[in-house]
Amino acid sequence: MAPNDTPVYPRIEQQMRTFDTGATRDSDTEKWDYEGFLSPRTLHRYAKYMHKHRKQSDGKMRASDNWQKGIPLAAYIKSLWRHLVDLWTMHRTKETSTKYVSVMEDALCAIIFNASGYLHELLKAKEAKQQAYAEDSEAQRICPNDPYNPCGKNYLGPNNEEDIIQETERKAREHASN
């Protein structure tokens, strides 16, 4: 998680929760609620989809986190669109047979995978740019407290989609050679 995305919980004048046991904790109203934001049913179906797709065409199983080695953004977006069009087409037919619904579920899981992978790559690039700024003492001296655009240097992200794609592909090649 990027440092700027870390939730900050105010400590001043927070209400306390007291449990039946007598234990106390700060209020959780301002804290991120992962349990509420996510659906176990959806995560279970997504994990089933991801596990099914671990098997490669050569019969070998890839690691569950293999995708984190880096996939170019262009590959993610092209795949996302193919699955989105598949889902859209199925949605318009209003078919409800069990087999059809299973195919729709797969399309939704593929969309989640590609959107998640795309976001993962964007966040990795953003964090790398923030780290580069943190290590650039000249930029910090001239433009303190401005990691978003210190002195015209673009530390928080590539200037356009082509820069993002090139940066992601470079990192994937780098990782593959290690």
How many folded domains does the chain comprise? Answer: 1
Strand, helix or coil for residue 56 = coil
Q: Is the pLDDT of residue 149 over 80?
A: no
The whole domain housing 49 covers: 40-177
pTM listed for this prediction = 0.69
**What percentage of the chain exceeds 70 in pLDDT?**
70
CA distance 43 to 97: 23
**Weakest-pLDDT range from 15-19, 40-44, 74-78, 80-84:** 15-19
The region of weakest confidence among 8-17, 39-48, 131-140 is 8-17
Instruction: Answer whether residue 64 shows pLDDT above 90.
Output: yes
Residue 19 lies inside a defined structural domain of this protein: no
In a domain, 30, yes or no: no
Residue 91: how many other CB atoms lie within 10 Å: 11
Taking CA atoms, 87 is separated from 21, 51, 82, 107, 174, in Å, by: 49, 21, 9, 6, 35
The per-residue pLDDT for 63 is: 96
The CA-CA-CA angle for residues 148, 68, 6, to 5°, reads 40
Name the phi and psi angles at 114, rounded to 5.
Answer: -70, -40
Q: Is residue 14 part of a domain?
A: no
* 7 found inside a domain: no
